[in-house]
A and B are shown apart, each in its own frame.
Chain A
């Protein structure tokens, strides 16, 4: 497809379970970003991948959160031992190099019971 694809679109899980969220960026985009959108906190940056460089993890809220990007394309955001405060919409974005703007997927809505 032409846009950023995220799956699943909705995920409901029990507190304490691990979840994996997937992002397929636009083909050829070297930069990939994860954000979290929640009612209380708005849009928050989580992690940023640029090419083969070490990712910028400065936005990850705790060590329960991790992300990887395989082969410079698909990325997976993993949340271990989920807590109710992890409930949010997780948005992925990608951009080509330099100053090009970020293009967003429709997000994954995560609900922790």
Chain B
């Protein structure tokens, strides 16, 4: 069965420090991969996506992620964290139906706190 694992429930980093959030997936075919961010009381905002091609993808707010097929990973990175990045981050894999995207399967999320 398809699944997504985010091993870190909560991470705290200092403002200005670098960040890496881990994500591992289990999926039989080539996955569609996503990172979303959720602030309290808000819906999910798409940070970036991977469908095919270049394995290093750039997203909004200075985030990037790298798809590593051999490790079944899609880790999210940011070189310098800002206080406004404090939120919960969700990795997701999209089920596919004949080349079209079906529903998303989400990890449990990683809550990011930022120290001043």
Residues of A within 8 A of B (CB): 4, 31, 33, 35, 42-43, 45, 48, 50, 56, 59, 91, 93, 95, 97-107
Extra pairs beyond A97-B100, A98-B100 (11, CB < 8 Å): A35-B103, A42-B109, A43-B90, A43-B92, A59-B103, A98-B99, A99-B32, A99-B51, A102-B46, A103-B46, A106-B42
**Can you sample 24 A-B contacts with CB below 8 Å?**
A31-B100, A35-B103, A42-B108, A43-B92, A43-B106, A43-B109, A48-B102, A48-B103, A50-B97, A50-B100, A56-B103, A91-B43, A97-B100, A98-B99, A98-B100, A98-B101, A99-B99, A100-B101, A101-B34, A102-B101, A102-B104, A104-B43, A106-B43, A107-B43
Interface residues of B toward A: which range? 20 to 34
Residues of B within 8 A of A (CB): 32, 34, 36, 41-46, 49, 51, 90, 92, 97, 99-109
Find the A residue at minimum CB distance from B44: A104
B106: chain A residues within 8 A (beta carbon) = 42-43
**Minimal beta-carbon separation of B1 from chain A (angstroms):** 12
**Minimal beta-carbon separation of A100 from chain B (angstroms):** 7
A6→B34 CA distance, assembly (Å)? 23
* In contact, A33 and B100 (Cβ under 8 angstroms): no
* In contact, A45 and B103 (Cβ under 8 angstroms): yes
**Minimal beta-carbon separation of B74 from chain A (angstroms):** 14
* In contact, B44 and A101 (Cβ under 8 angstroms): no
A85→B10 CA distance, assembly (Å)? 25
B105: chain A residues within 8 A (beta carbon) = 45
Interface of chain B: mostly helix, strand, loop or mixed: strand
A45→B105 CA distance, assembly (Å)? 7
B90: chain A residues within 8 A (beta carbon) = 43
A93: chain B residues within 8 A (beta carbon) = 44
A98: chain B residues within 8 A (beta carbon) = 99-101
**Minimal beta-carbon separation of A103 from chain B (angstroms):** 7
B42: chain A residues within 8 A (beta carbon) = 106
* In contact, A99 and B100 (Cβ under 8 angstroms): yes
A45: chain B residues within 8 A (beta carbon) = 103-105
Find the B residue at minimum CB distance from A100: B101
